Amino acid sequence: MNRIIAAGLAAFSISAAAAAPASAQSVGIATSNPGSLFHNIGTAVANAANAGGLNTTIQPATSPNQFIPFIDQGGIEFGVANLQEVNYAITGEAWWGGRTNPNLRVVAHLQPLIEAIFVRADSDIMKVSDLRGQAMTDGYTAQNTILPQLSAFYATAGMTRDDVEQVSVASVVAGADAFMAGDTVGFIFAHGAGKVREADAAVGGLRALGVEDDSDAALAAAREHWPTAFFMTLPEGAMPGVLEEATYIAFPQVIFTHANASDDDVYAMAKAMYENAAVMGETFPPMRAFRPENMRGDPGIAEFHPGALRFFEEVGLK
């Protein structure tokens, strides 16, 4: 067990908002920091699980690349991450440097994560290529997924990270803080996250930059950096900063566990999510986009946990 990760998760451990019976089985969900999308989603899933009879707590860490090995080793039952990161962790590719996490198993697909580069609404930056030569968040030293996602965005405009002035930050939350402090002209974040709403209020309004080119060629360029990427269009006003209809980069996100997790606990988690989608939407409104019928999506190179498969087969999800 990674004692540093375990200590960090224990230090940040907090209870999910909804109460659960004292006699219920206790499980944990690892998430990213408060303010992040995965923290909001983890809280919503925990509330649904509690409504379904599991006694669930969320345990925040800086990012999934910190808690994924902890889950692989059985240190906590569940986690929230994007599917590409889980797949890389299993194979040891990219920033995992050959370290594999072979025990990871998928429980269910969530709604897609939709990402944007945010700038001030009153700036003259109207498209991604307007960021050339400007100070932009970069580095993401504690959150390895973000640089390739940022590169995917730049690729849709024929750019690379070398085309901007790079301001190093540790995480997306730190990046939003740097933007609000005036250190950068923009930051990357997922639509719907609490930190985006905070930044929107702090600067008097945001503009969410979409991809500059939504052609098949641009998507192929984005997938060179983030293989599970796809494009999604949001209508005007759908989220803070969406000032007109625009197309953004999206990718699958999942609840995952480890191979030795209890079949009954995983079954109960999948069942609770399926039956309590409304609870998740009430906890975190962007989760109203979650569709129970899509829980059994393509897991990529990962495998579904047998407990999840048992539930999917019971309700007829193919």
Which CATH architecture describes the domain 3-111+253-315?
A: 3-Layer(aba) Sandwich (3.40)
How far apart CA 124 and CA 27 sit, in angstroms, is 48
pLDDT of residue 62: 81
pLDDT of residue 65: 84
pLDDT of residue 7: 37
Number of residues in the chain = 318
Rg, the chain, Cα only: 19
Q: Which two tokens stand for residue 85?
A: 């990161």
- Which stretches of the chain are DSSP H helices? 3-12, 37-51, 64-72, 83-91, 146-155, 172-180, 194-203, 216-223, 263-275, 277-283, 306-315
Residues 37/149, Cβ–Cβ less than 8 Å: no
Q: Which residues contact 113 (CB under 8 A, 6 or more apart)?
A: 37, 82, 190, 250, 251, 252, 253
Terminal alpha carbon distance of the chain: 35
Domain borders along the chain are 3-111+253-315, 113-251
Is there a common fold for 3-111+253-315 and 113-251? yes
pLDDT tens digits, one per residue of 184-220: 999 999 999 889 999 999 999 999 999 999 999 999 9
Q: Which two tokens stand for residue 305?
A: 């946990």
Q: Are strands 55-60 and 113-120 parallel, antiparallel or unpaired?
A: unpaired
pLDDT of residue 23: 42
The amino acid sitting at 216 is D
The structure tokens 């702090």 sit at 202
Q: Comparing C-alpha atoms, which of 75, 79, 37 is closest to residue 58?
A: 79
3-state secondary structure of 269: helix
CATH superfamily of 113-251: Periplasmic binding protein-like II (3.40.190.10)
For 183-212, the DSSP string reads: S-SEEEEETT-HHHHHHHHHHT-EEEE--S
Interior CA angle at 228 toward 270 and 192, to 5°?
65
pLDDT of residue 196: 96
pLDDT of residue 63: 83
Taking CA atoms, 166 is separated from 107, 138, 145, 283, in Å, by 37, 5, 17, 36
Q: Comparing C-alpha atoms, which of 121, 104, 123, 266 is closest to residue 208?
A: 121
pLDDT of residue 24: 56
Which residues in the chain show pLDDT less than 70? Answer: 1-24
pLDDT tens digits, one per residue of 182-192: 999 999 999 99
pLDDT of residue 267: 98
